[in-house]
Amino acid sequence: MDPSEVEFLAEKEFVTVVPNFALDKIYLIGGDIGPLTPGLPVQVPLWMAVNLKQGQKCRIVPPEWMDIDRLQDKKQEETDSKFFTKMPCDHYIEVTQLLLKSATDDIPHADEIRTLVKDIWDLRIAKLRSSIDTFVKSDATHAKLNFLTLMELNTVRPFLTKALDQMHVLRSNNNGRIQSTQE
């Protein structure tokens, strides 16, 4: 998948906004939204939140997890754990990026938040690479990794699947199922 496709899926996540205009309930393919009342917080999909914000039609309320203390705790938890921890949002990095780009003024300590989220990402990716290395070196035929997010998976998918294909051929050589070239 392309990262922009992963982002497309992430844009379905709901965030809270405070609109400055009124809108009756609307019925979309993905579900119902609204109604919007000026000054009242309401949950809308991320794509709509960004769109409204760009049109200056709302203020964005950062998600609960997008907070310096919470993220610092999360980072510590991720560092201490051998395995992957459950992230507060399955699309944490996409949501962070989209909100910080379009609504920096609505998010306190935006720069620190950005750094913390990136740090957590780097930690998890490094763990992922170690897991892959261990898996490849073992004789196991499958591995289970919990709590990985789609964007993380997506960055290793092309490499990992090709590497495993290659390993499969080399392993089959050892099991006596040698491939023969066609002529």
Partner 1 sequence: MLAEKALDLLRELQRTLDGSLPPYNEDGIRQILEEMKALFEQNQKDVSATVAGENGLFSGVQLRHSALERNKRCLLAYLYNRLEQIKKMRWEFGSVLPPEVKFNMCEQEVQWFSKYNKMLANYMRSIGGEGGLDLTQDLKPPKTLYIEVRCLMDHGEFETQDGNILLLKKNSQHFMLRSECEHLIRQGILEHIVH
Partner 2 sequence: MSIDGSNYFDINDILSTQQRLPCKVEMPIYRLGYLDSSSESEHLQPGTKLELPFWMARALCSRKRHIVSVDLPKQYKEGYREIFSADPTMVDLHKLGPYFYNYGSQLLQFELPETPDVAKSLLQTFQGRLRKIMDSSQNCFNEDTSKLVEKLDESERILFKEGQQALNDFQCWETRKTEKLKTSEMVKNHRKRKRVVLEET
Question: Which positions lie near partner 2, rule CB under 8 A?
Answer: 2-4, 7, 97, 101, 125, 129, 132-133, 136-137, 151, 154-159, 162-163, 165-174, 177-183
Q: What is the C-alpha separation between 110 and 103, in angstroms, rounded?
A: 9
CB atoms within 10 A of CB 84: 18
- Nearest to partner 2 of 3, 34 (CB atom): 3
Which position has the token pair 């939140």?
A: 49
| Residue number with CB closer to partner 2 (56 or 175) | 175
Which pair of tokens denotes residue 140?
A: 């196991």
Closest C-alpha among 75, 117, 76 to residue 100: 117
Minimum distance, C-beta of residue 183 to partner 1, in the bound complex (Å):
5
Q: Is 33 within 8 Å of 44 (Cβ atoms)?
A: yes
Q: Is 5 in the site for partner 1 (CB under 8 A)?
A: yes
Q: How far is the CB of 47 from partner 1 (least distance, A)?
A: 9
Task: Find the shortest distance in angstroms from Cβ 38 to partner 2.
Answer: 31
